[in-house]
Chain A
Amino acid sequence: MSDPITRPVVGTPRESVDPAAVEEKREGTLPRGLDRLGERKRARLEQLAQATADKGGVSLVRDAFRRLRRNPTAIVGASIVALFILVAIFAPLLAPHDPAQRFDELTKNLTVDNIPGASSEFPLGSDPLGRDFLSRMIHGSRQTLFVGVLATLIGLALGVLIGAIAGAFGGWVDNILMRFTDVMLALPALLLAISLVAMASRSSQWTVILAVAIVNVPIFARLLRGSMLAQRESDHVLAARALGVKQGSIVLRHMLPNAMTAVIVQATLTLSTAILEAASLSFLGLGDPDINRAEWGLMLGVDGQRYFEVRPELAYYPAVAIIVVALGFTLLGEGMREAIDPKSRR
């Protein structure tokens, strides 16, 4: 499993090129962390944060959008993502059957070592329990999107909360919160998720979502804090302050909206890791225990693995679906980043 934090690195390498700049950055951050790994991940995130902080306002977004439209990578990514979301939304209309229903036609010839294949009524054949595999694949897009989006949103919400508080107040609040995120950043993502799921007393779809979400909290917190810090000294915030706008209002109306651009980019990238991580947890037997639910990660990690030799399609189809969707989010996310930070374009 990829460490999600490594993704943003790709494509924004320029801060590391000039050693002097690196040194400067290191001076600027808190050096006495539990470790320095988190610190470097942090430097990456601040880079992304910085990109949106330089210029504020609507023109940036409009500019970025224009660039995005011309970027083939982003277009491919966006198309995949759009298709995925459409299938998810219209799953009940697209799917020929109920994904949880067992069909007599399919169970008739079903045994542990024989899973009926394609027929005219069931174009992808049966799953290991005699349910329509095609319908499960289609409904799977829904559950997969649900897990990915929710994990990302929860991670984002918590991260934004922590990051905004730290960035807005600074001082000891900032210190304590950032020390906390440093520790979390230092842990390998999947190990953290495994521990969280294992430590939960009840396993359900929600433990998976929460575990994946929590892994992403420090990333968003760091990102938002960096962006807010960068803006504190920026012209429009200084202007607002000079005009006597209240601190809370500055944070909410001026700093937060600008910072969110970077966060949204990161969220797009996180969606792909979240889907992959949920699949990994399923593979390790720590995923959603309810196999009635059709979710690609679950289908690949549990049935795909167990019945690989009986019917490899049970693994191939969800795997391909996951790869394509993860790829789509990555392409879109990178396209978006290039759009808001043209200098990083290659």
Chain B
Amino acid sequence: MQASRLKAAVALAAAAALAVGASGCAKSERDDDSGGAKTGGTFVFAGAGNPKNFDPIFNDDGESFRPIRQMYDTLVQNKPGTADLQGALAESWEHDPEGKVWTFKLRKNVKFHDGTPFNAAAVCFNFDRWFNMKGAAAQSQMIYYSDVFGGFAKNEAEGVGEPVYNKCEAKDDGTAVVTMNRYKGAFPGAFALTALSIASPEALKKYDADTVKQNGDSFEYSAFANEHPVGTGPFTFGGWDKAKGEITLNRNPDYWGEKAKVDKLVIKVIEDENTRKQELRAGTVQGIDFPAPADRKALSGEGFQVLDRPAFNILYLGFNQKNPKLKDLRVRQAIAYALNRQQLVQTKGPGGTKVADEFMPDTVLGYAQDVQKYDYNVDKAKQLLKEAGAENLTLNFYYPTDVSRPYMPNPQEIFTVLANDLQAVGIKVNGVARPWNGGYKDDVQQFGKHDLHILGWTGDYNDPGNFVGTFFGRAKVEFGDQAMTEMFDAITKADATVDEAGKKAAWEQVNRDIAAKWLPAVPVWHAPPAIVVTKDVKGLVASPLTDERFNTVSVG
């Protein structure tokens, strides 16, 4: 009897194996049938990571902003495909000569997804909500707010200083007046930040949006942020199926602007770039973000549309001037001359990459055409090293692993090439690899253990302060914590200049001096990230700020 039981078990196993095989065949045939059928009004787009939540103010990463951009609007927004501004929820805006009082003329007849009206009171409600946010947990997650506005009504963090925001008044339904304590170069560009999207006051209140709870090593967000995001955007929230990694958004039939062409937008999370590409080929998604640089040519050869985003980023090689040798400008210049950046761009840059001469792309105001350039010159590098008495230089070169950023798709290769160049002029390079989230940024930005490092930045809005100011506007451990007061003062002054022509001139001079006099780092390249869609997808405009709106997209 036992033997027969055993036999049955074996038979069952065999049958199961057969069934697996058989249904596999059946399925693949079925796929051929459905392959011809239209997907209807659905656009499936593959992103590279999970969003955190859908409350704009608590987010600072592109994967969260992608769905948020489709559901919310900002007061002003970037013109499609550029970093220039145009009206959005505000039809127009103006400021007083001091740049402190900002008046927004708001669009009429705009409704939030929950049916409540958008008006000046709603705008002020959002500004006041941000300014009055309480608790270390909530404030610590408002990265963009604190970048732009500095501080809160009641600061949890120390050393923040006076907040930039003062008050917001609803003059009438269609006019909101925001008063600042001082001018910042970030305005008005910062008003287009997705983090500063306008949400429905009713929904914010109803779903308890301000509650951010610390739980162990992480934060818990409100029902608003997770299940009931309500904005004015072209799509409404459909759901987030975390087991499948899919965010579903539905067409908003009452959208004030160009109504969405597709009925449904699905954002699918596929972290592996290789898998994203293969899903695109399999036809299961109609678009993917961040294709591997090596795949772009092949994909466009297969008939996919590879859309390059105009490069709005910078990769740089930084110097830690804690090292006395690197404090010598000649040594820094020698390193700049030693790097064959042209060859790096050609061999390892994604298509369309350009050598960088300044720490911001040339589309940003204040880019100087005549900065000192450091073209590849081994002899000059050796000579400068000799003059500085630094012929036997040994440097710890830190580089990250486990990471791929749009400006730095493959840090290990970039490091290897740069280190190679340095060795060619007689500098001994001691490479130190650190995982991106496993100590790299801490070692470089907090402890300053390095001599050289590579890091970069993707711009948030069209303002030199967002690039140069972020890097060099204050003493940073990353660059040796030096009191380069002359540089700091020049940047502070440029950032505070309200008048456009004066601002331009001031920043141009800053860029010239950085290249010739201060050289705290060497700009390496601007590398355009790409976005890929299938042949039959129309209306997608690649944005330098990765600010793509899917309402204009149609499939088939």
A residues apposed to B, CB below 8 Å: 102, 107, 110-114, 128-130, 198, 201-204, 285, 289-292, 302, 305-310
Q: Contact check: which of B350, B401, B416 meets A112 at CB < 8 Å? A: B350
**Docked-complex contact A130 and B416, CB < 8 angstroms:** no
- Interface: B420 (CB within 8 A): yes
> How far, in Å, is A204 (CB) from chain B's closest CB?
7
Q: Contact check: which of B347, B349, B431 meets A129 at CB < 8 Å? A: B347
**Docked-complex contact B294 and A289, CB < 8 angstroms:** no
Q: How far is the CA of A129 from the CA of B412 in the complex (A)?
A: 11
When distances are taken between beta carbons in the complex, the residues of chain A under 8 Å from B298 are 113, 309-310
Q: Which residue of A lies closest to B298 (CB)?
A: A309
Q: How far is the CA of A111 from the CA of B343 in the complex (A)?
A: 10
When distances are taken between beta carbons in the complex, the residues of chain B under 8 Å from A128 are 413
Given contacts A107-B343, A292-B416, A310-B294, contact A112 B348 (CB under 8 A): yes
**Docked-complex contact B401 and A285, CB < 8 angstroms:** yes
- Interface: B351 (CB within 8 A): yes
**Docked-complex contact B347 and A291, CB < 8 angstroms:** no
Q: Contact check: which of B294, B351, B410 meets A309 at CB < 8 Å? A: B294
**Docked-complex contact B292 and A306, CB < 8 angstroms:** yes
When distances are taken between beta carbons in the complex, the residues of chain A under 8 Å from B431 are 290
Q: Which 4 A-B pairs have the closest CB atoms?
A: A289-B433, A113-B297, A112-B293, A110-B347
> How far, in Å, is A312 (CB) from chain B's closest CB?
12
> How far, in Å, is A291 (CB) from chain B's closest CB?
5
Q: Which residue of A lies closest to B293 (CB)?
A: A112
Q: How far is the CA of A281 from the CA of B358 in the complex (A)?
A: 38
When distances are taken between beta carbons in the complex, the residues of chain A under 8 Å from B401 are 203, 285, 289
Q: How far is the CA of A111 from the CA of B349 in the complex (A)?
A: 8
18 new A-B contacts at CB < 8 Å, known A113-B298, A113-B351: A102-B420, A107-B347, A110-B347, A111-B346, A111-B351, A112-B350, A112-B351, A113-B295, A113-B297, A129-B347, A129-B413, A129-B417, A130-B347, A204-B433, A285-B402, A291-B412, A291-B416, A309-B295
For this complex, 10 residue pairs linking A to B, each with C-beta atoms less than 8 Å apart, are A102-B420, A107-B343, A112-B347, A113-B295, A113-B351, A129-B416, A290-B431, A291-B412, A309-B295, A310-B294
Q: Which residue of B lies closest to A128 (CB)?
A: B413
Q: How far is the CA of A309 from the CA of B432 in the complex (A)?
A: 30
Given contacts A129-B347, A204-B433, A285-B401, contact A113 B296 (CB under 8 A): yes
**Docked-complex contact A113 and B435, CB < 8 angstroms:** no
Q: Which residue of A lies closest to B431 (CB)?
A: A290
> How far, in Å, is A159 (CB) from chain B's closest CB?
29
**Docked-complex contact A113 and B413, CB < 8 angstroms:** no
> How far, in Å, is B428 (CB) from chain A's closest CB?
14
Q: How far is the CA of A276 from the CA of B351 in the complex (A)?
A: 35
Q: Contact check: which of A198, A203, A308, A310 meets B433 at CB < 8 Å? A: A203
Q: How far is the CA of A130 from the CA of B350 in the complex (A)?
A: 16
- Interface: B439 (CB within 8 A): yes
When distances are taken between beta carbons in the complex, the residues of chain B under 8 Å from A306 are 292, 294, 410
Number of interface residues of B (CB under 8 A): 31
When distances are taken between beta carbons in the complex, the residues of chain B under 8 Å from A111 are 346-347, 351
Q: How far is the CA of A113 from the CA of B416 in the complex (A)?
A: 18
> How far, in Å, is B208 (CB) from chain A's closest CB?
37
Q: Find residues 481-528 in chain B having any chain A CB closer than 8 Å to their own CB.
A: none
Q: How far is the CA of A204 from the CA of B274 in the complex (A)?
A: 26
Q: How far is the CA of A306 from the CA of B416 in the complex (A)?
A: 16
Residue from A107, A110, A201, A204 having most chain B Cβ neighbours under 10 A: A107
> How far, in Å, is A263 (CB) from chain B's closest CB?
34
Q: How far is the CA of A242 from the CA of B409 in the complex (A)?
A: 71
Q: How far is the CA of A292 from the CA of B401 in the complex (A)?
A: 14
Q: How far is the CA of A273 from the CA of B431 in the complex (A)?
A: 29
Q: How far is the CA of A292 from the CA of B399 in the complex (A)?
A: 14
Q: Which residue of B lies closest to A104 (CB)?
A: B343
Q: Which residue of A lies closest to B346 (CB)?
A: A111
Q: Which residue of A lies closest to B297 (CB)?
A: A113
Q: Which residue of B lies closest to A291 (CB)?
A: B412
The 8 A CB mask of B286-301 against A (1 = contact, 0 = none) is 0000001111111000
Given contacts A203-B401, A285-B402, A306-B410, contact A112 B420 (CB under 8 A): no
Q: Which residue of B lies closest to A204 (CB)?
A: B433
Q: Which residue of B lies closest to A307 (CB)?
A: B294
**Docked-complex contact A291 and B413, CB < 8 angstroms:** yes
Q: How far is the CA of A242 from the CA of B379 in the complex (A)?
A: 80
> How far, in Å, is B413 (CB) from chain A's closest CB?
6
When distances are taken between beta carbons in the complex, the residues of chain A under 8 Å from B416 are 129, 291-292
> How far, in Å, is A208 (CB) from chain B's closest CB?
12
Q: Which residue of A lies closest to B292 (CB)?
A: A306
Q: Which residue of A lies closest to B348 (CB)?
A: A112
> How far, in Å, is B263 (CB) from chain A's closest CB?
34
Q: How far is the CA of A134 from the CA of B341 in the complex (A)?
A: 27
**Docked-complex contact B293 and A113, CB < 8 angstroms:** yes
> How far, in Å, is B323 (CB) from chain A's closest CB?
20
> How far, in Å, is B295 (CB) from chain A's closest CB?
6
**Docked-complex contact A290 and B296, CB < 8 angstroms:** no
Q: How far is the CA of A285 from the CA of B402 in the complex (A)?
A: 6
When distances are taken between beta carbons in the complex, the residues of chain A under 8 Å from B410 are 306
The 8 A CB mask of B42-62 against A (1 = contact, 0 = none) is 000000000000000000000
Q: How far is the CA of A83 from the CA of B166 in the complex (A)?
A: 77
When distances are taken between beta carbons in the complex, the residues of chain B under 8 Å from A307 are 294
> How far, in Å, is B420 (CB) from chain A's closest CB?
6
Q: How far is the CA of A84 from the CA of B351 in the complex (A)?
A: 40
Q: How far is the CA of A107 from the CA of B439 in the complex (A)?
A: 33
Q: Which residue of B lies closest to A107 (CB)?
A: B347
When distances are taken between beta carbons in the complex, the residues of chain A under 8 Å from B295 are 113, 309
When distances are taken between beta carbons in the complex, the residues of chain A under 8 Å from B348 are 112, 129
The 8 A CB mask of B414-439 against A (1 = contact, 0 = none) is 00110110000000000111110011
**Docked-complex contact A112 and B349, CB < 8 angstroms:** yes
> How far, in Å, is B448 (CB) from chain A's closest CB?
17
> How far, in Å, is B473 (CB) from chain A's closest CB?
32
When distances are taken between beta carbons in the complex, the residues of chain B under 8 Å from A203 are 401, 433-435
When distances are taken between beta carbons in the complex, the residues of chain A under 8 Å from B402 are 285
